[in-house]
A and B are shown apart, each in its own frame.
Chain A
């Protein structure tokens, strides 16, 4: 078994929750160590600029 999976199966989960806060709450309620990321979609202008930059570079 991969060491990473073996570790996951042996250790307490430590979780980063990216998105819905409801999952943060229910993980916290179970006594799990968890941090919340309030993820936001990248602004569309940035995406267009990035595509242009990608082309140039």
Chain B
């Protein structure tokens, strides 16, 4: 019989990435059937419970305590396993990271070692950011600020300080930047080229740069400013600075500005600036706000779209008009082709299989899909981060009717690594969705690039097979769709990841919007008026 043991180490902290690596090591140990080492946050306890790894002892842990949870079949092995794990926990942190030759403990000593530093990447708890960031800015160094939960007044102070001195503060909460072709934090290896991108939407920047790469186009600079920058309290300080810098940059020939919904006053400010102070061609995508129409005299130079997909198509048309038709064919499907594919996929569904479930790791991708679902399926699409608060899921861990989940939201990440790195939470969720007899289609994004899981599809493989097996056992067919957001040059190689998905019977799509559109068609069995469908296609998938 299996034995589950929890050991709680009170007031013992390790960061979620270190614990994830350690958990993987422990799982490989002799006699261990399953293991997880986590901080005792509510999220983590919920996950241990779902993995049948939580005991009464573990339930008592608080978020300051560490839980070591092990399942074994041989109780006599437990003392040895536990003492080995305790030794591993006591080792210096750097021993887990073989590529680290040397670490510094103060910023001053690090900067002495690398005197011409021009960028700092900061990922420390938000409340400590200001002090550290000011030290960096005082030395004339730009910042990519990954940290979340930076107090808004600190963000404003840092950005004003930087702006006055001609420095960049990319973030807080900036998941992605591409500087001179190099991927900073979570970013993909994309070609260099003439297109500059300013983004207040992390996975949005990844999606756009990756699609451009797929058709042979490249990025000059990709500057992630963090979602708060377009809120009234920050006022678009860095968005405007970055637009200005790209406008002056000789290598940048045209510019994309993409963002999750900005506050109205900031949106107006950004648009006014682009209309009056710039000369280069612009493609804008402010997700979730009423489409902006530029004045007639600027209609040729400034374009605006409602999805990342359409915005990228337009940028391709602008940059490389001669190859537009071929490029479009690489990243899109005609409406007739989409309908044909969805009819074919839906053929073996039972009549009561009518719901879709979308399991996202990328927040902007999830948001883009919600906009499409609202148009094709209707308002009643539930989510943990819905467009309309009336459709907020009562329990983020339980889907209801059509449900679209952002697994990167706080309730899933407290004390855990992001699901782009740690697939555990999505594996559990996929199995749960597959058990629901009313589910027709499940969609997933697989975000590649530096910082992400070394094999995101491989990590989900077992769960995908199990999901299909569960449905089959119940004499159902379940459709699984996937979108790989990555390039062939990424460490994970997008082609290899896509091939793996195909071999698992997953239908893949070159863009997220296309996947969302297709899954909505399957859920609706294509029973939507032609007029409505054509209109939605034009708005979301065409230029």
Interface on A for B, CB 8 Å cutoff? Answer: 1-5, 7-30, 32-42
Contact = CB atoms under 8 A, between A and B. Distances in A.
Interface in B99-139: 99-100, 102-107, 110-111, 113-114, 116-125, 128, 132, 136
A40 B93 CA distance: 12
Contacts of B17: 20-22
Nearest to B132: A18
Contacts of B123: 17-20, 23
A29 B106 contact: no
Nearest to B133: A18
A1 B248 contact: yes
Contacts of B118: 4, 7-8, 11, 13-15
Contacts of A36: 100, 102-104, 110
A24 B132 CA distance: 18
Contacts of B113: 35
Contacts of B128: 39, 41-42
Contact of A35 (B110, B142, B165, B221): B110
B179 A8 contact: yes
B114 A37 contact: no
Given A1-B249, A8-B118, A19-B123, A38 B105 contact: yes
Contacts of B249: 1, 9
Contacts, number: 157
Nearest to B421: A22
B94 interface: yes
Contacts of A34: 114
A40 B122 contact: no
Contacts of B136: 16
B122 A18 contact: yes
22 contacts: A1-B166, A1-B248, A2-B166, A4-B118, A4-B140, A5-B142, A5-B166, A8-B118, A9-B245, A13-B184, A14-B116, A15-B117, A16-B114, A16-B117, A18-B122, A25-B97, A27-B182, A27-B184, A28-B99, A34-B114, A35-B102, A37-B105
B185 interface: yes
A8 B254 CA distance: 19
Contacts of A22: 17, 421, 451
Given A20-B17, A36-B100, A38-B104, A27 B110 contact: no
A1 B245 contact: yes
Given A4-B166, A18-B124, A33 B114 contact: yes
Contacts of B375: none
Contacts of A13: 118-119, 179-180, 182, 184
A18 to B, nearest CB: 5
